Amino acid sequence: MTQPKILVARAIFPETLAFLEKHFEVEHNQDDATWDKQELTRRLQGKVGAFTTGTERIDAEVLAACPELKVCANMAVGFNNFDLAAMTKAGVLGTNTPDVLTETTADFGFALLMATARRMAESEHYLRAGQWTKWRYDMFAGAEVHGSTLGILGMGRIGQGIAKRGAHGFGMNVIYHNRSRLSPELEAACKARYVGKEELLKTADHLVLVLPYSAESHHAIGAAELAQMKPTATLVNIARGGIVDDAALARALKDHRIAAAGLDVFEGEPKVHPDLLTVPNVVLTPHIASATIQTRRAMAQLAADNLVGFLVNGKPLTPLNPE
């Protein structure tokens, strides 16, 4: 019997590949080559399924050229690389990988908050550069974390994980803003108080962004929002580039309109706004918030299970646009 043909658009774990090969005829981007849209479209032709990551854009143009395509399984919880409306119109299912990365990503968000507040990157560069010659009372004095006010913009699963770490582990006063308010039970579990966006910006000592990217959240943090924040505040983005206006942020950091930032995601990544590379008060990491071996394995397996679930058993595990 001929097996359904799928494309694995990026390099993945050998065991995920072996699992997929039991069910499908697989074309795999083993070398992890960077394919442009034309090449991705060419490779997708004749495939019924695709294993994608956040880096492959699936839009109306790609879909029109690939009429056999039925499902795209993203190895990511974020799915802004999918034009979901176009996929729904074309009858193509999208799936993502929620839950399996929540705690790991929340760990990283908190680590980035700590590194940013306590100036870890800046002080490490100073030491490596051989500039540390003596102790000084105010050397790399940063912002207090315990007991301070933690603001969270976007209160989904990862936001709640960060809130719990802050409230229960560090005695922080947690405030949040979200499209919809959490239930009283969830607010109690997170020890979090709902506030308007303006109060969040004005009150937070540390503001963590965990909201999904969409046309609505594009530049949710720009010059105007940065101007409302405390000059002592820190900003952490583990959500998506594009939520922050990186040029405006670089200016705010340079002019010390906020104290520091920690960024794991960037507009147009893997390119990084050149001004961010020249300001010292920013910690920069290359989109690794979910990157532990265990979590990345779990994400890969869930994406593969979604392909098998849909194409073999007729039931995907975590569909984004079910019929």
What is the length of the chain? Answer: 323
Q: What is the DSSP letter of 220?
A: S
**Closest CB 113 distance from ligand DGY, rounded Å:** 17
The answer to whether 50 and 6 are in contact (CB under 8 A) is: yes
Max CA separation in the chain (angstroms): 74
Please say if 240 is a catalytic residue.
Answer: yes
The active-site residue out of 10, 43, 118, 287 is 287
For ligand DGY, the nearest residue by Cβ is 78
**Closest CB 14 distance from ligand DGY, rounded Å:** 20
Collapsed DSSP state (helix, strand, coil) of residue 191: coil
Please say if 216 is a catalytic residue.
Answer: no
- List the structure tokens of 84: 């979901």
Whose Cβ is closer to ligand DGY: residue 54's or residue 161's?
Answer: 54
CB neighbourhood size of 261 (10 A)? 27
**Closest CB 313 distance from ligand DGY, rounded Å:** 24
The answer to whether 122 and 142 are in contact (CB under 8 A) is: no
Whose Cβ is closer to ligand DGY: residue 160's or residue 290's?
Answer: 290
Please say if 177 is a catalytic residue.
Answer: no
Whose Cβ is closer to ligand DGY: residue 283's or residue 289's?
Answer: 289
The answer to whether 178 and 206 are in contact (CB under 8 A) is: no
**Closest CB 269 distance from ligand DGY, rounded Å:** 10
**Closest CB 49 distance from ligand DGY, rounded Å:** 19
Whose Cβ is closer to ligand DGY: residue 195's or residue 291's?
Answer: 291
Cα separation of 43 and 134, whole Å? Answer: 59
DSSP codes, 100-155:
TTHHHHHHHHHHHHHHHHTTHHHHHHHHHTT---S--TTTT-----TTSEEEEE--
Q: Could you list the residues that contact ligand DGY (CB under 6 A)?
A: 54, 76-78, 101, 290
The active-site residue out of 43, 240, 273, 296 is 240
Cα separation of 200 and 167, whole Å? Answer: 16
The active-site residue out of 23, 251, 269, 297 is 269
- For tokens 């007991």, what's the residue? 147
Whose Cβ is closer to ligand DGY: residue 101's or residue 192's?
Answer: 101
Catalytic positions are 240, 269, 287
